[in-house]
């Protein structure tokens, strides 16, 4: 599956999205669980808005992700669910039990769709019927008669051997050898399958005759005929079954009469009514070629160039028995997906990081104390300490890397999505990313992805105008969407900018009043832009499956606030808008420059350091006898003595501050006067506010190699200070 996906993507968009699939599957699973839980809890008589909104958001999030990755079946189904849910939360229709049933069923189907995209076996029911019911319900019509939920999670009964599939069989490529094609299953045109049913060993073989009655009693179940003429062989009975029902459903039915362990279903070839060789698959089920035909990226390439795909697959399974190549592939893939990631609570990782930090300090102390021992006498001890040092360093690196991932992992999701989106909307969009290497806590990355997706979609859908419109306005035909990440002070700043039409103040105010929000004309711009964060607020005229339901910004705000961050909007009508997402640095690695002032050590973020030089006291001039300035490359900039800013006690008056470090932030520069430059190092930013409070001019703290705490300066605040 992976080969197919990678092939597809690399040849069509140049980005490998598959690295994000796992995250999406996990998130979607969580969302579906949450939705189901809410659906089950909801009180039909008096469903409150918050509950309905929550369900809606769950569906919406799944849809967003599915559309990004090209899981069209999932996106389509969630879109229909969304339409229904949207009407519900707008109180256009009243909730009813059938609706809950339908939505729960839809959830089940979504799960099985996701499981299949993930590479696991199990069949997926055709959602057409369900889609029709959802549509009917959202149009306020009574629901069509629904069959029983056709989909269940892949059967897990270990003793039941299932060899089955419902997926349509595509012509088998000649490269597939005979044994595997024999194992393939045929479906009759109406979707029904022929199965061999083996029951037994039974104490009373006559029990099995009840199964025949079962088929008489239940309409549409299919037909059954005895293969053994009513005679048992060592208590075993054989039947031939033609049915449309999935195996697990059949087994559920049969279990009324015989125990599950005694039932075996074996797929038969259509022409071949002779008992097919019993294939023991040890849980790895046979999949027909083209099983993943609707996986993202796969369809066109895979079908256009089956040989290429096959070569890829064959190399991947070299050494494995070809007869079950396809099945094994599916099975091993699913297993690999399951074990490739492990979700661990952030707390545990934090604890691990702290413990390792402690270990590093202990190790440093040991190294310090053992410096003077005689290596000749304590050879083993010295060797041991050296090992300890190396292991500690490796351990620290690995532990740190657990949490930190570059923003690129988020940004890389977007080009493909935007490309599809732009094509759909017939817009021309250029995508620019900045600061991809900015490292961000994994926890934050996971949570910021959805909001960013919403923002980028919104920019493309609502912000960027059509090429004709842009040309008419004298802009370039191509709209530009920029995603930029940077460390700023004690936070990470992620900006989504577009040069589209921007927000319209009048339109927002009008819409707000329609919705009964008090919005006077004198409202400040910032407040007006913030209106779009209200639940259900949308200025889009048409609701598309991309955006326009007004749920996006609501979710964005909620998610970011939950992370302790903030969102700001800046907009100029006709010129574009900028959404700035500011997230706290709970744990981020930063390149720092350590400087000494008196006896104390401070850290400057290296990204804000412009240059440093030695300065003679007489080069520092004053303005108005107070403000001190220094000339650097024909530019006068204010001088800040860190000694004064932080009231550093001074014991050694010979060593006066003689080093000037020019730093830059928020478009301003100041020269900081320090005693000494100590060096550059990567520092882990720690939050001071966790146990203390915000300290002026300090963005955080870090732990130095010797275990002591050093404060990290907030350059932005120092620059502001110099202005006052």
Strand partners, 591: 682
Which residue, 92 or 689, has its beta carbon nearer to other proteins? 689
Residue 673 as a binder of other proteins (CB under 8 A): the answer is no
Tokens of 570: 């800046």
Span from 46-54, 551-559, 656-664, 682-690 in contact with other proteins (CB under 8 A): 682-690
- Least Cα distance to 22 among 494, 446, 652, 631 occurs for 446
Q: Binding to other proteins by residue 709, rule CB under 8 A?
A: yes
The residue among 150 and 698 lying less far from other proteins, judged by its C-beta, is 698
Q: Does 603 bind other proteins (CB under 8 A)?
A: no
Asked if residues 714 and 698 have their Cβ atoms less than 8 Å apart, the reply is: yes
Which of 157, 648, 677, 678 touches other proteins by CB under 8 A? 648
Closest contact distance (angstroms) between CB of 350 and other proteins is: 8
Nearest to 643 by CA among 613, 669, 674, 617: 674
Q: Which of 691, 705, 723, 724 binds other proteins (CB under 8 A)?
A: 691
Residue 104 CB coordination number (10 Å): 15
Pairing relationship of beta strands 627-632 and 635-641 according to DSSP bridges: antiparallel
Range in contact with other proteins (rule: CB under 8 A) among 14-22, 139-147, 423-431, 685-693:
685-693
Phi, psi for residue 584 in degrees, rounded to 5: -70, 150
Instruction: Please identify which residue in 686, 715, 716, 718 interacts with other proteins, judged by CB under 8 A.
Output: 686
Dist. CA 359–CA 353, nearest whole Å: 10
State the burial class of residue 204 (Cβ atoms within 10 Å of its Cβ: 0-12, 13-18, 19+): exposed
The H-or-E segment that residue 315 falls in is helix 306-316
Q: Is residue 402 involved in binding other proteins (CB under 8 A)? A: no
- Cβ–Cβ < 8 Å for 552, 458: yes
393 touching other proteins, by CB under 8 A: no
Specify the stretch interacting with other proteins by CB under 8 A; choose among 1-9, 64-72, 627-635, 707-715. Answer: 707-715
CA–CA gap between residue 630 and residue 661 (Å, rounded): 11
- Contact between 35 and 55 under an 8 Å Cβ cutoff? The reply is yes
CA distance 62 to 71: 10
Task: Please report how close the Cβ of residue 396 comes to other proteins at its closest, in angstroms.
Answer: 11
Among residues 10 and 398, whose Cβ is nearest to other proteins? 398
209 or 600: whose CB is closer to other proteins? 600
The nearer residue to other proteins, 359 or 543, going by C-beta atoms, is 359
Q: Which residue has the tokens 């797929």?
A: 267
Contact assessment for residue 103 and residue 84, using Cβ atoms and an 8 Å cutoff: yes
d(CA 230, CA 237): 8
Only segment of 243-251, 316-324, 353-361, 450-458 that touches other proteins (CB under 8 A): 353-361
CB of 710 to other proteins, least distance (A): 7
**Whose Cβ is closer to other proteins: residue 320's or residue 644's?**
644
Question: In terms of CB distance, is 474 or 679 closer to other proteins?
Answer: 679
Angle of helix 18-41 relative to helix 97-117, nearest 10 degrees, comes to: 160
Cα–Cα distance measured from residue 623 to residue 504, given in angstroms and rounded to the nearest whole number: 45
| Min separation Cβ 642 and other proteins, Å | 9
Q: Is the Cβ of residue 61 or residue 722 nearer to other proteins in the bound state? A: 722
Distance CA 82, CA 291 (A): 28
Nearest by Cα to 238 from 190, 278, 186: 278
Nearest to other proteins of 134, 663 (CB atom): 663
By the rule CB under 8 A, 703 interacts with other proteins: yes
Choice from 44, 175, 188, 355 touching other proteins (CB under 8 A): 355
Subset of 562-601 contacting other proteins (CB under 8 A): 600
Alpha-carbon distance of 608 to 593, in angstroms, equals: 10
Rounded to whole angstroms, the Cα distance separating 109 from 124 reads: 7
Element (H, E) at 660: strand 659-665
> Strand, coil or helix: what is 236?
strand
Site for other proteins in 166-205 (CB under 8 A): none
Examine residue 94 and tell whether it contacts other proteins (CB under 8 A): no
Chosen residue from 40, 203, 318, 690 binding other proteins by CB under 8 A: 690
- 436/407 Cα distance (integer angstroms): 5
The reply on whether position 683 binds other proteins by CB under 8 A is no
Longest distance between any two alpha carbons in the chain, whole Å: 113
Number of residues that bind other proteins (CB under 8 A): 31
- The answer to whether residue 346 forms part of the interface with other proteins (CB under 8 A) is no
Q: Could you tell me the smallest distance in angstroms from the CB atom of residue 462 to other proteins?
A: 36
DSSP-assigned beta bridge partners for residue 267: 195
Residue for token pair 């961050």? 565
- Say whether residue 397 binds other proteins (CB under 8 A): no
Least Cβ distance, residue 407 to other proteins (angstroms): 25
> Least distance (Å) from other proteins to the CB of residue 608?
19
Interactions with other proteins, residue window 148-167 (CB under 8 A): none
Cβ 669 to other proteins shortest distance, Å: 22
Judged by CB, which is closer to other proteins: 649, or 679? Answer: 649
Coil, strand or helix at 685: strand
Alpha helix segments (H runs only) across 169-254: 178-183, 209-217, 247-254
Distance CA 652, CA 644 (A): 15
Alpha carbon of residue 415 to chain centroid: 15
Taking the complex as a whole, the smallest distance from the CB of residue 394 to other proteins amounts, in Å, to 18
In the complex with other proteins, the residue whose CB is nearer, 263 or 400, is 400
Choose one: 61-69, 357-365, 374-382, 460-468; the region binding other proteins (CB under 8 A).
Answer: 357-365
DSSP-assigned beta bridge partners for residue 659: 614, 674
Cα torsion 135, 136, 139, 143 to 10°: value is -140
Cβ closest to other proteins, residue 153 vs residue 707:
707
Closest to other proteins by CB, 241 or 590: 590
For residues 538 and 534, give the distance between their C-alpha atoms in angstroms, rounded to a whole number.
Answer: 9
Question: Across the strands, what pairs with 480?
Answer: 430
Nearer to other proteins, 260 or 442 (CB): 442
The span of 15-23, 145-153, 619-627, 705-713 binding other proteins (CB under 8 A) equals: 705-713
- CB nearer other proteins, residue 507 or residue 708: 708
Which residue in the set 693, 705, 723, 724 belongs to the binding site for other proteins (CB under 8 A)?
A: 693
- Toward other proteins, which CB reaches closer, 33 or 706? 706
Pick between residue 321 and residue 368 the one whose CB is nearest to other proteins. Answer: 368
> Looking at beta carbons only, is 146 or 399 nearer to other proteins?
399
CB of 645 to other proteins, least distance (A): 7
* 8 Å CB contact between 317 and 329: yes
Distance between CA atoms of 64 and 320, rounded to whole angstroms? Answer: 38
Is 696 an interacting residue with respect to other proteins (CB under 8 A)?
yes
Q: Does 358 bind other proteins (CB under 8 A)?
A: yes
Residue for token pair 């009917």: 136
- Per CB under 8 A, the list member of 701, 715, 718, 719 interacting with other proteins is 701
Assess 472 for contact with other proteins (CB under 8 A).
Answer: no
Tell me the closest approach of the beta carbon of residue 640 to other proteins, in angstroms.
Answer: 13
Q: Work out whether 646 is an interface residue with other proteins (CB under 8 A).
A: yes
Q: Give the binding site for other proteins (CB under 8 A).
A: 353-355, 357-358, 361, 600, 645-648, 686-698, 701, 703, 707-711
């Amino acid at each position: 599956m992976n080969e197919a996906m990678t092939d597809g993507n690399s040849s069509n968009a140049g980005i490998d999205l598959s690295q994000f699939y796992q995250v999406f599957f996990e998130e979607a699973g969580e969302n579906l669980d949450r939705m189901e839980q809410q659906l089950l809890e909801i009180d039909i008589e008096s469903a409150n808005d918050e509950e309905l909104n929550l369900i809606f958001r769950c569906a919406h999030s799944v849809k967003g992700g599915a559309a990004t990755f090209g899981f069209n079946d999932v996106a389509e189904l969630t879109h229909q669910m969304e339409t229904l849910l949207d009407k519900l939360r707008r109180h256009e229709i009243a909730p009813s039990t059938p609706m809950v049933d339908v939505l729960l069923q839809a959830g089940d189907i979504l799960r099985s769709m996701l499981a299949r995209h993930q590479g696991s076996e199990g069949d997926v029911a055709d959602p057409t019927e369900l889609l029709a019911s959802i549509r009917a319900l959202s149009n306020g019509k009574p629901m069509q008669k629904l069959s029983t939920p056709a989909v269940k999670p892949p059967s897990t009964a270990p003793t039941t051997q299932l060899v089955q599939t419902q997926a349509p069989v595509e012509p088998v490529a000649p490269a597939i050898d005979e044994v595997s094609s024999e194992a393939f299953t045929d479906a009759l045109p109406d979707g029904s399958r022929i199965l061999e049913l083996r029951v037994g060993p039974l104490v009373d073989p006559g029990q099995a005759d009840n199964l025949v009655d079962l088929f008489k009693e239940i309409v549409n179940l299919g037909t059954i005929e005895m293969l053994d003429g009513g005679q048992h062989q060592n208590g075993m009975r054989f039947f031939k079954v033609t049915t449309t029902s999935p195996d697990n459903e059949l087994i559920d039915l049969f279990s009324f009469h015989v125990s599950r362990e005694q039932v075996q279903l074996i797929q038969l070839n259509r022409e071949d009514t002779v008992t097919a060789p019993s294939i023991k698959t040890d849980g790895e089920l046979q999949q027909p070629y083209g099983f993943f035909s609707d996986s993202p990226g796969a369809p066109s390439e895979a079908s256009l160039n089956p040989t290429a795909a096959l070569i890829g697959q064959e190399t991947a399974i070299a050494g494995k028995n070809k007869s079950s190549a396809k099945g094994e592939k599916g099975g091993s893939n699913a297993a690999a997906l399951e074990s490739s990631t492990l979700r661990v609570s952030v707390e545990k990782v934090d604890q691990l990081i702290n413990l390792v930090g402690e270990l590093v300090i202990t190790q440093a102390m040991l190294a310090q104390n053992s410096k003077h021992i005689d290596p000749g006498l304590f050879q083993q001890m010295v060797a041991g300490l050296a090992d300890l040092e190396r292991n500690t360093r490796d351990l620290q690196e690995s532990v740190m890397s657990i949490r930190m991932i570059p923003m690129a992992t988020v940004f890389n999701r977007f080009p493909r999505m935007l490309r599809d989106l732009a094509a759909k909307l017939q817009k021309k969009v250029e995508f620019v990313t900045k600061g991809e290497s900015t490292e961000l806590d994994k926890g934050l990355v996971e949570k910021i992805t959805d909001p960013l997706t919403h923002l980028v979609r919104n920019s493309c859908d609502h912000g960027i105008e059509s090429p004709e419109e842009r040309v008419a306005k004298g802009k370039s035909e191509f709209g530009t969407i920029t995603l930029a990440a940077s460390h700023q002070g004690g936070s990470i700043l992620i900006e989504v900018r577009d040069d589209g039409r921007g927000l319209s103040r009048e339109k927002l105010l009008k819409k707000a009043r329609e919705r009964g929000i008090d919005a006077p004309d004198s409202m400040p711009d910032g407040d007006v832009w913030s209106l779009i964060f209200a639940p259900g607020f949308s200025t889009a005229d048409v609701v598309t499956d991309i955006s326009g339901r007004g749920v996006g910004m609501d979710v964005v705000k909620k998610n970011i606030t939950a992370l302790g961050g903030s969102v700001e909007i800046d907009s100029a009508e006709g010129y574009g808008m900028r959404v700035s997402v500011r997230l706290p640095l709970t744990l981020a690695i930063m390149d720092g420059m350590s400087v000494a002032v008196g006896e104390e050590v401070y850290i400057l973020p290296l990204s804000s350091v412009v240059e440093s030089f030695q300065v003679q006291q007489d080069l520092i001039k004053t303005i108005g006898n107070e403000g001190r300035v220094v000339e650097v490359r024909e530019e006068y900039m204010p001088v800040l003595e860190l000694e004064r800013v932080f009231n550093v006690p001074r014991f050694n008056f010979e060593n006066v501050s003689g080093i000037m470090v020019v730093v830059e932030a928020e478009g301003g520069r100041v020269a900081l006067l320090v005693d000494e430059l100590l060096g550059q190092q990567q520092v882990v930013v720690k939050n001071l506010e966790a146990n203390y409070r915000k300290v002026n001019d300090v963005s955080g703290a870090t732990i130095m190699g010797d275990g002591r705490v050093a404060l990290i300066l907030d350059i932005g605040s120092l620059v502001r200070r110099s202005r006052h």
